[in-house]
Chains A and B, each alone.
Chain A
Amino acid sequence: MSDVIDRPLLEQEKTAKARLRIIDCDVHPSLHAHADLNQFLPKRWQQHLKTYGSHLRTPYIGTTPYPRSSPLIARRDAWPPTGGPPGSDLAFMQKQHLDPLDIEFGILQVLDLFIFSQQNLEFGAAIQRAINEWQLAYWSDREPRLKASILAGQDDTEAAIAEIDRCAKIGRYVQINVCPRANEPLGRRRYWPIFARAQELDLPLGIHVGGYGGHAPTGGGWPSYYIEEHQSNAHSVAAQLSSLVIEGVLERFPRLRIVFIEGGLGWIPATTWRMDQHFERFRDEVPHLKRRPSEYVKEHFWFTTQPIDEPDEAKHLRSLIEWIGIDRMLFSSDYPHWDFDDPRFAIKTPLTEAERAKIFNGNARALYKL
């Protein structure tokens, strides 16, 4: 059974030319099994994975620290009939997601084996390379609508840069991904070589929520519930926005473009106002900043829409969107996860056709040069 709700095509959509196709900036492919990686992974690391496993700073081997609300965080209807986890079967992804929602391009975000947070950096580097190859072989090669991201394990900066360079030579990747819960805040200098490479290659830096940096998910400590942890994703990206701005990353790399993925939108204006509010008071501490924080935010950052805010009143969502700026928003669905946003219904406030065209397609097309 498909959960896709049929909507009749509007008159103006009947011609392909007028039809607004969707660019989905957050699609999660999954490994069918770790063995999928064997063809890309040296024997030593295959053996390592089997014997020692993935080592993240979390209590359990087989699951996440906070039990999620559904198996593998997935929509209940996203399990492929052929078996395997949600997101592991291309044909089913095409049938359930890409085709019926008329996805023109999907940007892949791989979370398997969370390479960004692997404690054994050498293992992390081997896995990152294998997954980057797997993205092309299993996904982009077979479905050209799906665009790969270069996973770059930020905490072994040297290996990350070697991998970025290897992938950039191939030339089929559309962004460089690092993790918002790294060993240190991303604005700190140890990560600047990655930003230098991103600017040089003119690839956006993608930061998808998640990861295990060893710190509690909140500034107040470890919560008890998934419902708290889930919302703390917005805290991580707010803190990273501050870090990247306040450390002066954008002064040093004036052409760097940064995308926050799956952070949602609501936190952005308040975080920016708060930075501006206290800027004068702390200006002496950060003399490397030449402009108000909000100016860096407006020029250098993009934000994916999911999980889209759902205020009780549509006009409030409209205010939020205007505060952020239509030009900075990129539609994302988070398929196949439970908190998936359907492009037809997600943004519950009136938008003009021109605005829709930007959010659902034009902004991402320009940013990723699709």
Chain B
Amino acid sequence: MSATRIDCDIHPAVGGTRTTLLPYLDDHWKEQVVSRAIDGLDLNSYPPNMPLSGRADWRPANGKPGSDLAMVQRGAFDQLGASHAICNVLYGAQAVFDSYMAAAFCKAINDWIAAEWLSRDPRLRASIVVPMQAPDLAVEEIERRAGDNRFVSVLVLAQGESLLGRRHYWPVYQAAEKHRLPIAVHAGSQYRGAPSSIGWPSYRYEYYLAEAQAFQAQVLSLIYEGVFLKYPGLKVVLMESGVSWLPAFMWRANKTWRGVRVEVPWIDREPAAIMRDHIRLTTQPFDAPPDAAGVADIIDMIGSDKMFLFASDYPHWQFDGDDAIPPHLPASIVSRMCADNPLETFPRLALAA
């Protein structure tokens, strides 16, 4: 492997609760999932057969896209040229209503990814899947994994039960900061509420578009609730969020803050400055203007070369061909986003596995 190129967002797939995860469940949950047929928890945000959920050449003959380690290795490493990759498992454990069940499934997912992926390929790292439904149990899961440096972040969904800045989540951030784990907020919904204030849309296409606004709401929530004041070492990575909404979102946040900052007097600097310090984004999908000048403008407006993290979003179908770096990105951004920025954002990447 030549240069360091860290792919910050790939998706190994869980086959099912009664298959993939069964060996990793305790006797109680083994019995439960078998006798009650608790299975089929693929997130509604990513139906496996939907084109976006798997590029044609990354679909195994059998099973879901991302379910075959050898195929993932060929795609993410050989074809796309990553030196390392961070596994973000999107399976329904995060959406389960029963907190105990959610915690058991999250634990099983983390045990499974450690045993069957991380242990089989030293280039792989993973995010800790946690039950945000019960922050105390999420903290327990973080503590359980903290000694394993192959876990480099904490994974949560962009649309959960409540906005991520709310105080009941703070113990999770305390644990994350302590163990130098950024919070990876990934596209996806628990389907507790409509994907936007306008209600439930007709098409999955609209759902996917609406994720961008959910990410924006999460950023504002984390900032204005004061999470980054309480946990100054915490970073939040927006994964599969899209990118081009960021500049105008920053302007609007700054302007609104100038108008009504009296409401949040603890925020004593522009929210865009807080974003540049604490928020990171992965670069697929890159929903930018089609021309190089437009991309240059967007990058100039964002005003930071530290915010971008290389990601392919494998096996999601965000681009064709072998180059996961979006077109027209200036060299200064590309050179930082593949290694420097991921290493700064996920400090545990630099630790011995």
User: Which A residues have a C-beta under 8 Å from some C-beta of B?
Assistant: 69, 180-188, 213-228, 230-232, 234-236, 238-240, 242-243, 246-247, 264-267, 269-271, 273-278, 281-282, 284-286, 307, 309-311, 316, 319-320, 323, 338-339
Contacts and interface: CB of A to CB of B under 8 A. Distances in A.
Interface string B166-184: 1000000000000000000
Which 8 residue pairs spanning A and B have beta carbons closest together? A266-B248, A218-B217, A219-B214, A282-B205, A239-B196, A235-B213, A270-B245, A277-B287
A281 B317 contact: yes
Contacts of A183: 199
A103 B224 CA distance: 38
Size class of the contact patch on chain B: 35 or more
A266 B263 contact: no
Highest count of chain B CB atoms <10 Å: which of A183, A219, A230, A234: A219
Nearest to B244: A270
A235 B221 CA distance: 14
A270 B221 contact: no
Contact of A286 (B161, B205, B221, B251): B205
B199 A310 contact: no
Given A185-B202, A316-B297, A69 B262 contact: yes
B197 A224 contact: no
Contacts, number: 243
Contacts of B259: 69, 338-339
Contacts of B300: 316
B251 A285 contact: no
A345 to B, nearest CB: 14
Interface of B: 51-52, 158-166, 189, 192-206, 208-214, 216-218, 220-221, 224-225, 242, 244-245, 247-249, 251-257, 259-264, 285-290, 294, 297, 300-301, 317
Nearest to B254: A310
A230 B260 contact: yes
Contacts of B261: 227
Given A286-B203, A309-B248, A219 B51 contact: no
A109 to B, nearest CB: 19
B251 A221 contact: no
Contacts of A221: 159-163, 192-193, 217
Contacts of A271: 209, 212, 245
Contacts of B260: 69, 226-227, 230
Contacts of A240: 198
A298 to B, nearest CB: 14
Nearest to B262: A69
A218 B213 contact: yes
B193 A242 contact: no
Given A225-B263, A227-B260, A232-B217, A270 B212 contact: yes
B201 A243 contact: yes
Contacts of B214: 218-220
B4 to A, nearest CB: 28
Contacts of B159: 219-221
24 contacts: A213-B199, A217-B217, A219-B159, A219-B211, A219-B217, A221-B159, A221-B217, A224-B221, A227-B220, A227-B263, A228-B221, A230-B256, A235-B196, A242-B210, A264-B252, A270-B244, A270-B287, A277-B285, A278-B287, A281-B51, A307-B252, A307-B256, A309-B252, A311-B251
Contact of A224 (B165, B210, B290): B165
A85 to B, nearest CB: 20
A185 B198 contact: yes
B60 to A, nearest CB: 20
A282 B249 contact: no
A285 B224 contact: no
